[in-house]
């Protein structure tokens, strides 16, 4: 018996259980859940510090710092960026001030190419992604608000009997659809899909072969 | 060309499982990799030249996804390779020895050995799948073989 035959004999004992689905709808659901799970897990891992005015001194961890201007919670915002590790794998800390409060936002994300490779996103890519992403906020009265660039929309009364709200938003030539879901614990999550863009036809995030996952998006409000 | 997912699953699910298991050494993770690989195929708009192109792409994606799993900090609790091996049926004790020895090799040698001896890929094809140079693959193959020869003594004769 040759080495090759020996090897094949040894590894022929490995068999898939076949417990996977090839149904399109189920695969789409798994894909959506996978993205939500990544976001939830990473958000839990994020440390959030909220200051009350004045200056917040970020921990000196020897990271690289830079400033970025981006859309956050409906306002164009100057953000100080601290890189948490040299290769970006530790994510970034965005520090910014809005309405007199200085806040920290832990962010990270990966880009998945068509060969299944993950690459850590840079701070600029994260900021661009977050700027383009809608933002959900529940106020003290329990009203549910969606921020998208400079728009602020009250969607509290737009949920159907299953706790789902579908919304289409536009900004310039960008058109996105949002599916907002009320979770069992009273929180909210949403999926954003780019419907079209006259300037960037390849940016249809949900049908493109390149998927990008942003996570850790929380500011403790 | 494109092939249906059902066709591909029938042809390659065990190959993808073996490749993924080779990297993540956990059956449930390897099953998840198969699912994710087929989702990736369903999602991609890529056009393939032929069946071999599809096969190589699926294996590449499965390997990359398996590597991603091993880097994930919230990885599921692992069943030890020894415990998992007890659930497997090997034709001979030598097969079990070979399996266990391969699984103890460093990952970078393990996957090259697997693609060469199990998937019958040539060095240049492995280089293409792993996006490494052919000389790098040759080196890994040579070192992996040397380790197997040393550990398995007469059970691995290095006949290429």
Average of pLDDT values for B42-56?
Answer: 92
Chain-centre distance for alpha carbon B127: 14
Contact assignment for A9 to B92 by CB distance below 8 Å: yes
Domain boundaries, chain B: 1-75, 91-160
* Interface predicted TM-score (ipTM) of this complex, two decimals: 0.94
For the cut 70, the answer to whether the pLDDT of residue A25 exceeds it is yes
Which of B5, B14, B57 is facing A22, going by the closest CB pair? B5
Interface of A with B in 173-192 (CB under 8 A): none
Contact assignment for A15 to B17 by CB distance below 8 Å: yes
pLDDT of amino acid A114: 72
- Residue A35 confidence class, pLDDT cut points 50, 70, 90: low
pLDDT of amino acid B72: 62
pLDDT of amino acid A206: 36
For the cut 90, the answer to whether the pLDDT of residue B70 exceeds it is no
Q: Which residues of A touch B62 (CB under 8 A)?
A: 116
Q: Each residue of A39-88: pLDDT tens digit?
A: 444 443 343 433 333 333 334 444 556 888 998 888 889 999 888 777 66
Contact assignment for A13 to B88 by CB distance below 8 Å: yes
What residues contact B107, with CB distance under 8 A and at least 6 apart?
Answer: B23, B70
pLDDT of amino acid A196: 62
For the cut 90, the answer to whether the pLDDT of residue B90 exceeds it is yes
For the cut 50, the answer to whether the pLDDT of residue A212 exceeds it is no
- Residue A109 confidence class, pLDDT cut points 50, 70, 90: confident
B91-160: in CATH 1.10.10.10:
yes
Give the distance from residue A25's alpha carbon to the nearest chain B alpha carbon, in angstroms. 11
pLDDT of amino acid A60: 40
Q: Which has more confidence, B129 or A221?
A: B129
CATH of domain B1-75: 1.10.1740.10
Q: Which residues of B touch A207 (CB under 8 A)?
A: 43
Q: Which residues of B touch A44 (CB under 8 A)?
A: none
For the cut 50, the answer to whether the pLDDT of residue A97 exceeds it is yes
Contact assignment for A6 to B65 by CB distance below 8 Å: no
Q: Which long-range contacts (CB under 8 A, 24 or more apart) does B43-50 make?
A: B43/A31, B43/A207, B43/A209, B43/A211, B44/A114, B44/A209, B45/A209, B46/A114, B46/A209, B47/B1, B47/B2, B48/B1, B48/B2, B49/B1, B50/B1
Does A210 contact B at CB distance below 8 Å? no
pLDDT of amino acid A218: 38
Q: Which residues of B touch A17 (CB under 8 A)?
A: 27, 31
Q: Each residue of A130-182: pLDDT tens digit?
A: 888 888 888 888 888 999 988 999 999 898 888 889 988 888 888 888 888 88
Which of B6, B17, B73 is facing A22, going by the closest CB pair? B6
Q: At what angle do helices B134-152 and B123-130 cross, to 10 degrees?
A: 110
Give the distance from residue B97's alpha carbon to the nearest chain A alpha carbon, in angstroms. 9
Task: List helix spans (H) across B4-92.
Answer: 5-24, 27-43, 51-71, 81-85
Q: Each residue of B103-140: pLDDT tens digit?
A: 999 999 999 999 999 999 999 999 999 989 999 999 99
Do the beta carbons of residue A214 and residue A92 sit within 8 Å? no
- Residue A8 confidence class, pLDDT cut points 50, 70, 90: very high
For the cut 60, the answer to whether the pLDDT of residue B29 exceeds it is yes
Which of A16, A24, A31 is facing B14, going by the closest CB pair? A16
From residue B105, give the alpha-carbon distance in Å to each of A152, A170, B100, B114.
Answer: 56, 54, 9, 11
Average of pLDDT values for B26-55?
Answer: 93
Does A116 contact B at CB distance below 8 Å? yes
From residue A29, give the alpha-carbon distance in Å to each of A26, A113, A184.
Answer: 5, 20, 18
For the cut 80, the answer to whether the pLDDT of residue A111 exceeds it is no
Q: Which residues of B touch A211 (CB under 8 A)?
A: 43
| Percent above pLDDT 70 for chain B | 94
What is chain A's mean pLDDT, rounded?
Answer: 73
Which of A6, A20, A118 is facing B35, going by the closest CB pair? A20
Give the distance from residue B113's alpha carbon to the nearest chain A alpha carbon, in angstroms. 9
């Amino acid at each position: 018996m040759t080495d090759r035959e020996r090897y094949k004999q040894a590894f022929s004992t490995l068999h898939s259980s076949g417990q996977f689905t090839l149904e399109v709808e189920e695969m789409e659901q798994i894909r959506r859940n996978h993205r939500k799970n990544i976001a939830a897990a990473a958000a839990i891992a994020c440390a959030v510090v909220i200051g009350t005015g004045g200056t917040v001194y970020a921990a000196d961890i020897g990271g690289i710092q830079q400033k970025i201007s981006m859309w956050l919670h409906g306002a164009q915002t100057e953000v100080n960026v601290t890189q948490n590790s040299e290769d970006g794998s530790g994510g970034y800390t965005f520090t910014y001030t809005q309405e007199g409060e200085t806040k920290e936002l832990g962010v990270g994300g990966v880009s998945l190419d068509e060969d299944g490779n993950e690459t850590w996103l840079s701070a600029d890519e994260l900021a661009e992604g977050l700027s383009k992403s809608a933002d959900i906020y529940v106020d003290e009265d329990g009203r549910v608000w969606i921020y998208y660039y400079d728009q602020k929309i009250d969607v509290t009364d737009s949920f159907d009997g299953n706790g789902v709200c579908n919304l289409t938003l536009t900004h310039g030539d960008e058109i996105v659809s949002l599916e907002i879901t009320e979770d069992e614990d009273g929180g909210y999550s949403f999926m954003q899909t780019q419907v079209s863009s006259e300037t960037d036809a390849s940016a249809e995030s949900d049908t493109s072969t390149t998927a990008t996952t942003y996570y850790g998006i929380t500011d403790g409000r | 060309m494109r092939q249906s997912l059902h066709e591909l699953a029938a042809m390659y699910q065990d190959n993808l499982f073996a490749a993924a298991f080779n990297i993540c050494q956990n059956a449930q993770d390897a099953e998840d990799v198969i699912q994710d690989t087929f989702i990736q195929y369903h999602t991609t708009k890529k056009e393939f030249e032929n069946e071999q192109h599809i096969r190589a792409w699926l294996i590449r994606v499965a390997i990359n996804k398996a590597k991603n799993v091993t880097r994930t900090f919230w990885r599921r609790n692992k069943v030890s390779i020894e415990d998992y091996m007890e659930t497997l049926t090997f034709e001979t004790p030598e097969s079990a020895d070979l399996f266990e020895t391969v699984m103890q090799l460093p990952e970078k040698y393990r996957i090259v050995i697997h693609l060469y001896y199990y998937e019958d890929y040539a060095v240049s094809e492995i280089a293409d799948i792993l996006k490494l140079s052919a000389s790098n693959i040759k080196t890994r193959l040579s070192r992996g073989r040397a380790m197997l020869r040393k550990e398995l003594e007469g059970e691995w004769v290095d006949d290429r």
